[in-house]
A and B are shown apart, each in its own frame.
Chain A
Amino acid sequence: MVINLGPQHPSTHGVLRVVLELDGEIVVDAKPDIGFLHRGIEKLAEHRTYHQIIILTDRLDYLSALSNNLAYVLAVEKLLDIEIPKRSHYIRVALVELQRIASHLFWLGTHAHDLGAMTPLFYTLRERETIMDIFETITGSRLTPGFMRIGGVAADLDSAAVRQIRSFVDGFAKRVDEYEMLLTENPIWQSRTKGVGILSMDECINLGISGPLLRASGCSWDIRKSTPYSSYDEFDFDVPVGAAGDVYDRYHVRIKEMRQSALIVCQALEGLPEGPWLAHDPGAVLPDKNDVGSDVYALIHHFNLIIEGMKPPTGEVYHSIESPRGELGFYIVSDGRTKPFRLKVRPPSFVNLQSLVKMVRGKILSDAIACISTIDIVLAEVDR
């Protein structure tokens, strides 16, 4: 029998349609059908200036918008070859690690909910809401902050925001203990997740899978460690690794990652250097908005960059970061004009979703639900 799972189905996490061929309760074949949310962001980017594209990147993976911002601005900064102040690196790291926690929390809640555990969703959304409040205080927006700028960040982190973040991360380890109390040793949870959706390390690498999925299969590749960007080499953290490569291990890896992220945020706040949070480069970096009203040179730079845009050198760069879902990369081809000649997003969700067919073939239908949610897809990023 052939059935449609989605596109409107709560456990497909968005508009994903999976055409399942069933023999009784056994999945014989699965065909993911994607593209329902395709907005042509890569095409749009070819018609926007480099500064305007930051807003588009928010709309890719909306559960970790700041990670998308970061990957994009790092790629542009690589193209321009500019150094940015250390304080902005630290602010960026603190924000994207908070974003990683928020993203994993949302995943954990919905994943548990898909498998029949109702309670964790309320717990995880409670903490995620606190992070959203922090983002709203700092950036003015909850889901689509658009906060990173080419050359730094849009605003400084004031002491009130630092206090708010600190009070959250200080109590966070206890909160994770609560989630673990609900799930880790829970026999129902274990029977639904252990031995389900197994992928070996070689399979993962061959399929291009990155992030927690790959690490749960035993490979410790994390771009924050292998190619440290944004001063990640100055922070002390572990990369959690699983062994079995099943749904349970992926849960465990993400739980441990949240704890590590909280540690990184603590370190970033403690070591937050004084100084500017935006590079001074009138040819490429927008000036501080406060100066635009009082300093005529800042006003001229602002005007030129908005009306005309900045002109990077001709060339091409690829830069990738470790987003909550895996390797998120931006490939930019510049022909020296104010708009990118070509911009390609390497979305981790899109590549990771390819593994679904391997995971569910020959397994029972209820495991397919567990497999879809364990990948942690965001359809806005898959479809772009």
Chain B
Amino acid sequence: MDIELLRNDLGHYILQTEEFSNEVTLTIDRESLMPVCRFLKNDERFAFDFLSDCCGVDRFPKVPRFWVVYHIYSIAKNHRLRIKVALDEHDATIDSIVTVWESADWHERECYDMFGITFREHPNLKRILLPDDFNGFPLRKEFPLKGL
């Protein structure tokens, strides 16, 4: 995939591009998530039609505390891209991308379940793996390994 092309077209959204081990990571603001995702999916040169994965990362004690990481793939073009959005601990909210890739539904629910990150306008944002009355978010770093 042509990184220069990405920088050209999405330059005003991109905060940082990184390359490690032949993988490209794009860091963007949470406000730009929807336009960037829509563009990457619909633009013929990128054609990212497949959302492989979406997950959270707790970077405690670093600030901002959370990352939401999206791994997208284009079946036609056979290229991959990682999109990363940093979220603050006190306002861990981000737009849901279910309207762009339907598969985000359960991924986002899992991310909410494990990290307590809220996805705005998600159709059914409930716990998915843990019971509804569970307290705490197990993949946060302060959650003890042995459980509560």
The residues of A with any CB-CB pair to B shorter than 8 Å are 34-35, 38, 40, 42-44, 47, 78-79, 81, 205-209, 219, 221, 226-227, 315-318, 320, 327, 329, 331, 333, 341-342, 344, 346, 350-351, 354, 383-384
Contacts and interface: CB of A to CB of B under 8 A. Distances in A.
A206 B103 contact: yes
Contacts of A43: 138-139, 143, 145
Contacts of B75: 205, 219, 221, 226
Contact of A205 (B25, B50, B69, B143): B50
Chain B interface size, as a band, is 20 to 34
B13 to A, nearest CB: 21
A331 B69 CA distance: 10
Contacts of B80: 318
Q: Is the interface of A mostly helix, strand, loop or mixed?
A: mixed
A350 B116 CA distance: 20
List the 5 closest pairs (A to B, CB-CB), nearest first. Answer: A208-B103, A35-B129, A346-B53, A344-B55, A315-B20
A383 B52 CA distance: 17
B114 to A, nearest CB: 8
A383 B78 contact: no
B78 A315 contact: no
A327 B102 CA distance: 17
A226 B78 contact: yes
Contact of A318 (B23, B107, B127, B129): B23
Nearest to A220: B75
B14 interface: no
B86 interface: no
9 contacts: A34-B128, A35-B127, A206-B49, A329-B52, A346-B52, A351-B103, A354-B102, A354-B103, A354-B105
B130 A38 contact: yes
Q: Which of B58, B101, B103, B139 has the most CB of A within 10 A?
A: B103
B145 A47 contact: yes
Contacts of A226: 75, 78
Interface in B59-86: 69, 71, 75, 78, 80, 82
A46 to B, nearest CB: 8
Interface string B125-147: 00111110000001100010100
